[in-house]
Amino acid sequence: MSLKKKLKKLLSASEAKKEEETKNEHTEQNVHPQTDEMPPDSEDTGIHNEALLELPQEHPLYQLYNLRRRDAGYLHAPRLCLDEDGVLPADFIKREKVRLRTVVNKECNARLKDAKGKKSHHKDKNSGKAKDKTAGKDAGKDDGKAKKKEAEKKADEPVNLDARPCFFLSADKLYAWVFVLPPVGEGAELSREMLYEAMVVQGIGYGVDNRLADQLAHNEHKYFTLYLIAKGKPAFDGKNGNIVDYFPRVIERVLEVDEYDQVDYTALNLIRNVKQGQEICRLIKPTEGEPGRTVLDQEVPAKSGKSVPLPKGRNTEISEDGVSLLASIAGHVEYTGRSFQVKPVLDIPGNVDFSTGNINFLGDVNIKGDVLSGFTVRAMGNIQVGGVVEKGSTVEAGGDLIVVKGILGDGTTVIRSHRSVFSKYIENSTIYVRENLQTDCIINGDIYCDGEVVVRSGRGSIMGGRIWAAKKVTARAVGAPSECRTAIALGGLPCTNFEREVVQRELRELEQEMEKLECQLDSPVKASLLSKLRIRLSAAELKLKQLEDDLIDIKIELQDKDSGRLECSVAYPGTEINFGDEMVRLRRESRQCVAKLVNGEIVVT
């Protein structure tokens, strides 16, 4: 587009906007782009503006200002302020002030040179002519006088310079300011057409404040004042996609104690039921970026938001519109760290007895009643028992185990959990737990825990049996006034040792069974049974060897680590505290007891 067309376009846009905005307003004096009153001079406010560019009095701008004031009489003081409204960021102002100072220095120096350079040029020329006259004495006197008069005439000619709009563009080209240097001599004053023509030459064609441009020529503050003449449109990057969850990804498995030191074990509902087709989470799609535009009418590209995938796992499906994750079956929702999955849930409305038989389930099991004597419940997920686990039962959970009313064993009851166990009480049972165990009371229990054993609510007592915790045992009372033997072992690898004991017991049983078979008469049945028995025996020996190797390796790693800790309000005589091969037996009652291993010795305080 030619210069003429650009100027015509700007002027026509200005006229259209002016007719629309100032239809009933025809004020042409003392107008500011935001208000009818000009901003006060910096010396009048008495307030330091961080956006104000301060220059020394000997700066070329002030020299030009003094020249204009001498010719015009009164003149408002210079004011170069980048942000009169205080809306621009402080760091942006700080950066642009440095650049503005450079532009002002350049423009004012050039203007001052033009204003003074012509006069000095004529004087130098006159001086040169005089020297030439002296050097050429033999030239004609008439010619010398004519040249002298001509030089003096040119030297006395005034310097005439038109007003000059100077533009300053921000580094990102989103803002354009203008400050006008006044005319010199009989040069032309600032006019509307002059300003628009200067903007076209500069290339400023977008976001122009036409009202300011139209009225600046009639403004008494038009010279030596910085105005925001054009403002571009910043680009807006699109927002990234997001996932809105309707089920928690992390379930807190912590029971709180009420004011009566009681725990409601029914409140720890780890099974999050979902119906088939129910929404698990929803995808918020990313948004497209909105490109911007500079004051030079150039496009500023914008980035679009990034998309995130739905965390689809087992037994889930994505809706047809692609924004929802749905359950494909009814069951229990669980987040595995990368995706949501739905596990099937087996609901037992009553007891586990002869009506149900033993239970072996791949998902979660929710038992409303009790697990009766002699029955087995195994599940890959969580197990929740609303009643009691009776003597002689076996319960094994791949997740957490909750027993609302307690575990009542007879020495043959075995409980295993690959996460945590929560039970009202534990009596005469063997417990194997990979994480933590929380209960109100433990009586004659054999506990193997790779985490912490917490017995603080309710009675909060541990009486009899053996507790082996890798990290910590916390209780109100350990032992009993009757001095029943209660062993607390700390540190090490309780669960791995428990597995080793189980495998060793299995090996002894297999060896005894093999001895009995070898005493029988030879027969095809005996050969078949011996072959199967040898395979089982080899597998058990291999497993035992692997466990012992793991124990040796892990014990070396744990040598320099904390070996565990016992904390209780009271520890009664008869309590044994073990740290590996180190053992101490309490001979008297100890209040606020804390036991730990220091420099290879057990310290009880």
Amino acid at 236: F
Residue of higher predicted confidence among 50 and 25: 50
- Residue in 31, 84, 4 with CA at minimum distance from that of residue 210: 31
Q: How confident is the model at residue 10 (pLDDT cuts 50, 70, 90)?
A: low
pLDDT the model gives residue 442:
95
Q: Which residue has the tokens 């928690």?
A: 248
Q: How confident is the model at residue 278 (pLDDT cuts 50, 70, 90)?
A: very high
Range from 14-18, 310-314, 453-457 carrying the lowest mean pLDDT: 14-18
Question: What 3-state class would DSSP assign to 529?
Answer: helix
pLDDT the model gives residue 227:
93
Cβ atoms < 10 Å from Cβ of 443: 19
Q: How confident is the model at residue 581 (pLDDT cuts 50, 70, 90)?
A: confident
Q: Mean pLDDT across the stretch 195-212?
A: 91
What is the number of domains present in the chain? 4
pLDDT the model gives residue 36:
34
Q: Which two tokens stand for residue 87?
A: 């809306």
Q: What is the pLDDT of residues 341-356, one digit of tens each?
A: 998 888 899 999 998 8
Q: What is the pLDDT of residues 239-274, one digit of tens each?
A: 999 999 999 888 777 677 777 777 877 776 677 888
Q: What is the pLDDT of residues 72-125, one digit of tens each?
A: 777 888 999 998 888 899 999 999 999 999 999 999 999 888 887 544 444 444
pLDDT the model gives residue 301:
93
Range from 51-65, 163-177, 534-548 carrying the lowest mean pLDDT: 534-548
Q: Mean pLDDT across the stretch 490-517?
A: 86
> Which of 231, 265, 296 corresponds to the end of one domain?
231
Residues 53 and 167 in one domain: yes
- Residue in 556, 418, 580 with CA at minimum distance from that of residue 491: 580
Q: What is the pLDDT of residues 507-529, one digit of tens each?
A: 888 888 888 888 888 888 888 88
> Which of 324, 343, 362 corresponds to the end of one domain?
343
Q: Is the pLDDT of residue 573 over 70?
A: yes
Q: Mean pLDDT across the stretch 403-407?
A: 94
pLDDT the model gives residue 115:
82
Residues 42 and 185 in one domain: yes
pLDDT the model gives residue 500:
84
- Integer Cα distance of 330 and 220 in angstroms: 79
Residues 99 and 138 in one domain: yes
Amino acid at 363: G
Cβ-proximal residues to 44 (8 Å cutoff; 6+ apart), any chain: none
Residues 428 and 566 in one domain: yes
Residue 61: how many CA atoms within 13 Å on its side-chain side? 24
Q: How confident is the model at residue 446 (pLDDT cuts 50, 70, 90)?
A: very high
Residues 352 and 293 in one domain: no
Range from 63-72, 135-144, 364-373 carrying the lowest mean pLDDT: 135-144
Residues 253 and 402 in one domain: no
pLDDT the model gives residue 126:
46
Q: Is the pLDDT of residue 340 over 50?
A: yes
> Which of 199, 231, 263 corresponds to the end of one domain?
231
Residues 372 and 261 in one domain: no
Q: Is the pLDDT of residue 136 over 80?
A: no
- Integer Cα distance of 327 and 89 in angstroms: 48
- Integer Cα distance of 229 and 178 in angstroms: 6
CA torsion, ordered 489, 494, 500, 501, to nearest 10 deg:
40
Range from 233-237, 264-268, 423-427, 571-575 carrying the lowest mean pLDDT: 264-268
Q: Give the β-pairing of 437-439 and 441-449.
A: unpaired
- Residue in 311, 289, 319 with CA at minimum distance from that of residue 244: 311
Residue of higher predicted confidence among 156 and 52: 52
Q: Mean pLDDT across the stretch 300-317?
A: 92
Q: What percent of the chain has pLDDT over 90?
A: 47
pLDDT the model gives residue 378:
94
Category of 86 on φ-ψ map: left (φ > 0), alpha (ψ -120 to 50) or beta: left
Q: What percent of the chain has pLDDT over 70?
A: 83
Residues 189 and 321 in one domain: no
DSSP at 120: H
Residues 494 and 512 in one domain: no
Residues 146 and 244 in one domain: no
Cβ-proximal residues to 263 (8 Å cutoff; 6+ apart), any chain: 255, 256, 257, 424, 438, 440, 457, 458
Residues 418 and 518 in one domain: no
- Integer Cα distance of 580 and 466 in angstroms: 14
Residues 393 and 264 in one domain: no
Domain that residue 534 falls in: 503-550
